[in-house]
Amino acid sequence: MKLLLLLALVALAQCHRISRVPLWRGKSLRQALKEHGLLDLYLQQHPYNPAVKFFPSLQSAERLHNYMDNEYYGTISIGTPGQDFTVIFDTGSSNLWVPSVYCASLACSNHHRFNPAASSTFVGTNDSVSIAYGTGSMTGVLGYDTVIVADIKVLNQIFGLTETEPGDFFYYSPFDGILGLAFPSIASAGATPVFDNMMAENLVARDLFSVYLSSNGASGSFVLFGAIDYSYTTNGISWIPLSAETYWQITMDGVYIGEQPVACYQGCQAIVDTGTSLLVVPSNILGTIFASFGANSNGQISCSAVSSLPNLIYYINNEAFQVPPSAYVIENGGYCTLAFEGMDVPTEAGELWILGDVFIRQYYTIFDRANNRVGLSPLP
């Protein structure tokens, strides 16, 4: 099969040369492979390798910095010439924004600020934008400029330039801004998300992206646009259909601690959110969760008891997805705390649970826009 694939690729390359379309142009190669039914096979046989990129335009990875297992961020460029910013790649929101020279908030004073006057490709608007997160908020204006993410150049990308960043959350954040990867339906001010423009302009090989988050402060985290790194899926992929095209929202069947059900008895809604550090539960359930683990009302538990704690199990799409105590217990300075927080995120289907980084670190996670589904592959 590999020989047949190689011959097919050679034939395609010859075809490209005859038509004077450069072989390295990702759009043409992607279309040719897809038309011949070879794209999926090629990507499986050539998983992403950071040291060797056969066709970089087919697979583009953004390396993420792991900040104390609490936040994961990478570097993007905006404008011409490019101005660099560190951003959270957030599947729980849809807007791109960065601090700007218009911002006088304390949070902007110690971060990079975009200067539209220094970019020859910037186009301003009179439109405003306002976003409130679970922690932190921003207001600002919208503009258009060239954005480069993982060597992918997106022209005329709409983004927010902050004018205010109230409070101190963003002041203490190690990143500058946020790049939302959720659906357009929840984008503030109707802004088109970056990944939607990547898809519309055929800048990615497949209409999906995948995420690996490292543990224990280790390096190696990434978000991979347009491809699946199959070296991370040796334990198979479980595909879960989305229940709404807003956040990356799915239906859970139940939540268990060991063999005991503790919540979500009749089913509930959850989102897979790279921008949330912990495991978020509805506020009225948090006390039950803590008590079930034997923790106090603040979630603190004896470190000596951690080794005997059961797995936390989310039942999703008739499958069990386990989170071990080594993942959901945070040890700091001899104190152990459960990695849960209570927050109410109301939707038409009820309060949302949030499967944040504590969960995602256990699974190579695929966000598939082409099929409106999430793929989870257990990591070793």
Active site residues: 90, 273
Cis peptide before 56 (omega within 30 of 0): no
Residue 263 CA: distances (Å) to CA of 285, 315, 362 = 7, 11, 21
DSSP code of residue 190: G
Q: Treating both helix axes as pointing N-terminal to C-terminal, what angle do 2-18 and 26-35 enclose, rounded to 10 degrees?
A: 130
DSSP code of residue 268: E
| Among 66, 100, 88, 108, CA closest to 178 | 88
- β-pairing, 363-368 with 373-378? antiparallel
325 vs 260: CA distance, rounded Å:
15
| Among 138, 134, 129, 132, CA closest to 165 | 138
Helix (H) or strand (E) holding 208: strand 208-212
218 vs 336: CA distance, rounded Å:
21
Count H helices and E strands in the chain, helices first.
8, 27
Half-sphere exposure (Cβ direction) of 95: Cα atoms closer than 13 Å = 27
Per the CB < 8 A criterion, the answer to whether 223 and 209 are in contact is: yes
324 vs 219: CA distance, rounded Å:
21
